[in-house]
Amino acid sequence: MTFDNIFIALLLTLIAGMATAIGALMAFFTKKGNNHHLSGALGLSAGVMVYVSFMELVPDAVESMEGIVADPKLAMLYVLLSFFGGMALIALIDWLVPEDENPHEVHHSPGTPLDGSRLKRTGMMLALTIGIHNFPEGVATFVSGLEGADIALPIVVAVAIHNIPEGIAVSVPILQATGNRRKAFWYSALSGLAEPVGALFALLFLMPIWTPAVNSVCLAAVAGIMVYIAFDELLPNSEAYGHHHWAIGGVIAGMAIMAFGLLLF
């Protein structure tokens, strides 16, 4: 593991996290309208995450584990436990977040206005809870970055795309409550900083004990985290922003782009 690998992984994680700030800027300068393209983009992100998890990360985890465990079935068992352990971790984080403040739950009925103080509180709580959700995503993005740019770049793009609407979700209620664009922007940006913080956590606490076994467990757990995010956040939001066929088309396109991209590079 070279310094360049680590630096690139950290940089890519920072870029993915800062996409929430892009979402804040979009909220300031765009009007509500046709969301079909966002629906397709979220579906594409889901397709990328699912494909790379099952076709790259899990096979790499199995190969790494088989290098230290003689029994192939036992090696696969360890990988499966790590995969579903990653799912369980992100599901637990999701469960611990109160439903009213969950960044991918409906907070109030459409057309029902919220008062300024509640709007501000909603935005602040969304910033906090999105930050909590982004922490394991930062670990996942960092670990995938260590595997190489060919795997990391599509994941970073996928994470960034799904962070943009989260940035919008944070900034809009704060902007409407306070009229302060700077405050709305910085709350969104700070929620995204949880991803590079997650990457630093992985660097400080995982890298010193990095072995083939740790590598295998982390890759499988990251795959589980990304599959859960795809099914629990990206696909439902993709459906919510547009039509079913836009969402499914995005998923298929994401898988195809990832498949041919890996084949070519």
For the annotated binding site for Fe(2+), the residues are 134, 137, 163, 166, 195
Q: Which residues are annotated as a binding site?
A: 134, 137, 162-163, 166, 195
Helices 149-178, 116-147: axis angle to 10 degrees equals 170
Q: Which residues are annotated as a binding site for Zn(2+)?
A: 137, 162, 166
Four-point Cα dihedral 221, 8, 255, 220, nearest 10? -10
Q: Calculate ∠ Cα 15-201-56, nearest 5°.
A: 65
Look up residue 114 and give its two tokens.
């919220």
CA neighbor of 146 nearest in space, from 9, 3, 28: 9
Q: How far, in Å, CA of 150 to CA of 131, rounded? A: 27
Radius of gyration of the chain (CA): 19
Q: How far, in Å, CA of 147 to CA of 62, rounded? A: 14
Nearest 5°: phi and psi at 110?
A: -60, 135
